[in-house]
Structure 1
Amino acid sequence: MNPLVDSYKRTVSYMRVSITDRCNLRCVYCMPEEGLEWTPTDEILTYDELTRIITVAAKRGLRKVRITGGEPLVRKGVVGFVEQLSRVPGLKELALTTNGVFLKELSADLYKAGLRRINISLDSLNPKTFAQVVRRDIFPKVWEGIEEAERVGFEPIKINCVLQQGVNDHEVMDFVRLTLRKPYHIRFIEYMPCANWDTWVKTYKPFSAVVDEVETQFGKLVPVGGSNENDNGPAENFRIPGAPGVVGFIHAVSHDFCDTCNRVRLTADGKIRPCLFSEIAVDFRDALRNGCSDEEIEGLLDQVLYVKPEYHELDMLPEEKKLTTMVNLGG
Structure 2
Amino acid sequence: MEHNLSGAARPIQRLRKMNTAAEGCTMRDAFGREINYMRLSVTDRCNLRCRYCMPIEGVPPTSHTDILRYEELLRVAQAAVSLGIDRFKVTGGEPLVRRGIVDFIRSLKALPGIKQVTLTTNGLLLPPLLDGLLDAGLDAVNISLDTRDNAQYQAITRSSHTADEVLHAVRLCAGRLPTKVNAVLLSETAAQLVPLARLAEELPVDVRFIERMPLGVTDIAAEPVHREVIGRLRAVWPDLAPVHERRGNGPARYFASSGLRGCIGLIEAVSHAFCASCNRVRLTSTGLLKPCLCYEQGTDLKPLLRGGADDAALRDAIEQAVRGKPAAHCFAERQAVTERKNMNQIGG
The answer, yes or no, to whether TM exceeds 0.5 is yes
| Aligned equivalents of 1:116, 1:318: Cα separation in 2 | 38
What is aligned with 2:83? 60
| Aligned equivalents of 2:324, 2:119: Cα separation in 1 | 27
| Aligned equivalents of 1:119, 1:40: Cα separation in 2 | 27
What is aligned with 1:211? 230
What is aligned with 1:15? 38
Larger mean CA deviation between 212-221 and 33-42 belongs to 212-221
What is aligned with 1:142? 166
* Deviations, residues 261-280 of structure 1 (Å, cap 9, x unaligned): 00000000001000000111
- The answer to whether 1:46 aligns with 2:69 is yes
Displacement of 1:178 = 2.1
- The answer to whether 1:173 aligns with 2:194 is yes
Instruction: Structure 1: state its 5+ residue gaps.
Output: none
| Aligned equivalents of 2:174, 2:332: Cα separation in 1 | 39
- The answer to whether 1:288 aligns with 2:310 is no
* Deviations, residues 280-302 of structure 1 (Å, cap 9, x unaligned): 11010001101111100111011
Displacement of 1:198 = 6.4
* Deviations, residues 119-166 of structure 1 (Å, cap 9, x unaligned): 000010111111111111212322222222236x12x2100000101x
What is aligned with 2:6? none
Report % sequence identity. Answer: 37
- Contact 1:67–1:96 (CA under 8 A) maintained in structure 2: yes
Larger mean CA deviation between 248-257 and 68-77 belongs to 248-257
- Contact 1:120–1:159 (CA under 8 A) maintained in structure 2: yes
Q: Residue 73 of structure 1: which of 96, 107, 115 is its match?
A: 96
Question: Which residues of 2 match residues 159-170 of structure 1 at below 5 A?
Answer: 159-165=181-187, 167-170=188-191
* Deviations, residues 178-202 of structure 1 (Å, cap 9, x unaligned): 212211110000111123366324x
Matched residues, number: 324
Taking a change above 3 Å as real, the CA distance of residues 141 and 28 of structure 1, as seen in their structure-2 partners, is same
Question: Which residues of 2 match residues 221-236 of structure 1 at below 5 A?
Answer: 221-226=240-245, 228=246, 231=248, 233-236=250-253
Question: Which residues of 2 match residues 1-331 of structure 1 at below 5 A?
Answer: 3-139=26-162, 140-150=164-174, 153-154=176-177, 156-165=178-187, 167-196=188-217, 199-201=220-222, 204-226=223-245, 228=246, 231=248, 233-318=250-335, 321=338, 323-331=340-348
Taking a change above 3 Å as real, the CA distance of residues 56 and 128 of structure 1, as seen in their structure-2 partners, is same
Provide the secondary structure at the position in 2 that maps to 1:248.
strand
What is aligned with 2:5? none
* Deviations, residues 76-130 of structure 1 (Å, cap 9, x unaligned): 0100100101111111110000011101111111111111200000010111111
Taking a change above 3 Å as real, the CA distance of residues 20 and 305 of structure 1, as seen in their structure-2 partners, is same
Displacement of 1:50 = 0.5
- TM-score after normalising by structure 1: 0.93
- TM-score after normalising by structure 2: 0.89
Larger mean CA deviation between 68-77 and 56-65 belongs to 56-65
- Contact 1:280–1:307 (CA under 8 A) maintained in structure 2: no
- Contact 1:237–1:248 (CA under 8 A) maintained in structure 2: yes
Provide the secondary structure at the position in 2 that maps to 1:314.
coil
Provide the secondary structure at the position in 2 that maps to 1:195.
coil
Taking a change above 3 Å as real, the CA distance of residues 217 and 149 of structure 1, as seen in their structure-2 partners, is closer
Displacement of 1:319 = 7.5
1:148 maps to amino acid:
L
- Contact 2:331–2:337 (CA under 8 A) maintained in structure 1: no
- Contact 1:127–1:137 (CA under 8 A) maintained in structure 2: no
Provide the secondary structure at the position in 1 that maps to 2:227.
coil
| Aligned equivalents of 1:8, 1:51: Cα separation in 2 | 28
Displacement of 1:221 = 1.1
- Contact 1:236–1:248 (CA under 8 A) maintained in structure 2: yes
| Aligned equivalents of 1:232, 1:265: Cα separation in 2 | 13
Larger mean CA deviation between 274-283 and 178-187 belongs to 178-187
Instruction: Structure 2: state its 5+ residue gaps.
Output: 1-20
Q: What is the RMSD of the two structures over their aligned residues, measured on CA atoms?
A: 1.7
Provide the secondary structure at the position in 2 that maps to 1:119.
strand
Structure 1 runs (4+) greater than 4 angstroms displaced: none
